[in-house]
A and B are shown apart, each in its own frame.
Chain A
Amino acid sequence: MFHALFETSWNAYYRIDNDVYETALTTSITITEITMGDILWAVTRSIMTVVGTATVAALFGWLNHWEAIGIIIPAIMVGITFGALGFLFSAVAPHTTFLTLVFTLVASPMFFFSGSFFPISILPDWVEPIAWFMPLTSAVHIAGGFALADLNITHLWAALYMIALTAVIWPVAIYLLRRRLIK
């Protein structure tokens, strides 16, 4: 999540601020294609991180099912969802301090309460629904399903939630980016 989010928030902000996107738009590509390109790179970074972590886990013998290969799927989904989310922030960020806040107030708490470190079932009752609302929780849930070779219908719901969220975030990000670049 961090790698994907970083690529399309900090790095994209750099490209907005230094007119790299503006210059790219003077070729025949469009803003939608720019977001596609950078989200694809966010997916790549996400896969690299997940494969790296999973390889270490496998070496320690924590991943011993062939199903664990499926972890690549939530990695791709995280890359797309958080890549789109990052654009949402870079498109509206007035300065880099804003992006620091995104990482402090959005990304870090999400990382903490998503079930990455401890199961969200141990959270207070009122926090659990909020945790499920965060897209990373769904991704962790799906990854957990593949890692433990224990997949059920809830993993499908989690995947659909992430897809639905991306279907909203991405077009909004494109709209905001267009508003920022075409002026």
Chain B
Amino acid sequence: MRMLAGLSPANSGAITVSGIDVVKDNRAVREVMGVVTQHDGLDGGLTVFQNLFLHGFLAGLSRKDSKNRAHAVLEFFGLRDKSKANVYKLSGGMKRRLAIAWSMMTSPSVIVMDEPSTGLDPQSRNRVWEELAVLKDVGVTVLLSTHYMEEATILCDRLSIMDNGKILDEGTPDQMIERHAPKEVAQLRVSPVSIRTVRGYLTEQNIMFREVGALISVTAVNGDRPDLSGLNDLEGVRTSYRAGNLEDVFIAITGRELRDG
């Protein structure tokens, strides 16, 4: 992603964006592409409006165009009442939204985003997602990286799962789930007093499970509902079922944290 934006040197291979060679003609690429880096990179000494205006100006818009565009972008992102606020006073969510708004200053056809909703509270994240969905609707191609599988499920038409710099598989979220995730996963919320018993039972029954804190996710080998009848009478175990999701896909493909009972 940094290579796309010209922020990292390319060692080998080729990248093209909208038919433009990224390595040979990086300046031209940056003219058609908006970038939201992992860190907001906003100028803390300037107001919201000034940040947008400066970005437009640096990107080659005239003063008048940059001013008009900044107003339009503020309107689009619902930030108009914040236009005179100093950036350093904004919340994390607001800064993130401003960083996305900033990448829209040049009306790009492609936007590259490095973990757009990392570190945001649920409300701000939803707001960011809504805005990204609107961008998609108006025809902007969005390329984003994320650790949140929920984010990938909601936003992506096509996704690649990468581990250690290699693409392990790609497809639509539904295709990926169908290919790699179980139909159903049982989730056991287990109180500390029963955790040893539950572990023992699952291991004994040869049931595959994954333990994260007090939550144990159980998948039967054939992908159907696992037999947990032996845990019915145990105190402090709450069982619920959910459909397989991208989180399961990610773990299945990368093999991380998987415990074979």
Contact = CB atoms under 8 A, between A and B. Distances in A.
Contacts of B37: 19, 22-23, 26
Interface residues on A, range: 10 to 19
Interface in B27-77: 27-28, 30-31, 34-35, 37, 39-44, 55, 58-60
Given A27-B106, A182-B6, A183-B8, A19 B41 contact: yes
Contact of B7 (A15, A20, A25, A29): A25
Given A20-B42, A23-B42, A182 B59 contact: no
B43 A28 contact: no
B249 interface: no
Contacts of A183: 2, 7-8
A28 B33 CA distance: 10
A121 interface: no
Contacts of B102: 23
Main secondary structure of the interface of B (DSSP, over half): loop
B181 interface: no
B35 A26 contact: yes
Contact of B44 (A18, A22, A24, A27): A18
A41 to B, nearest CB: 12
A183 B8 CA distance: 5
Nearest to A24: B58
Interface string B14-29: 0000000000000110
A13 B106 CA distance: 27
Interface in A138-183: 181-183
A170 to B, nearest CB: 20
A22, A27, A28 — which one has the most chain B CB atoms within 10 A of its CB?
A27
Main secondary structure of the interface of A (DSSP, over half): loop
A53 interface: no
Contacts of A19: 37, 39-41
B7 A26 contact: yes
B13 interface: no
B122 interface: no
Interface residues on B, range: 20 to 34
A28 B30 contact: yes
Contact of A22 (B7, B55, B58): B7
B43 A182 contact: no
A30 interface: yes
Contacts of B9: 182
B100 interface: no
B43 A181 contact: no
B106 A22 contact: no
B27 A30 contact: yes
Given A15-B43, A20-B41, A20-B43, A26 B30 contact: yes
B59 A28 contact: yes
A27 B103 CA distance: 9
A169 B106 CA distance: 34
Contacts of B7: 22, 25-26, 181-183
B101 interface: no
B5 interface: yes
Contacts of A26: 5-7, 30, 34-35, 37, 103
Q: Which 4 A-B pairs have the closest CB atoms?
A: A23-B41, A19-B41, A26-B35, A27-B59
Interface of B: 2, 5-9, 27-28, 30-31, 34-35, 37, 39-44, 55, 58-60, 99, 102-103, 106
13 contacts: A15-B43, A19-B39, A20-B43, A22-B7, A24-B55, A26-B34, A26-B35, A26-B37, A28-B27, A28-B60, A30-B27, A181-B7, A183-B7
Given A22-B7, A182-B6, 20 more contacts: A15-B43, A18-B41, A18-B44, A19-B39, A19-B41, A20-B43, A23-B37, A23-B102, A24-B58, A26-B6, A26-B103, A27-B60, A28-B58, A28-B60, A29-B59, A30-B27, A182-B7, A182-B9, A183-B7, A183-B8
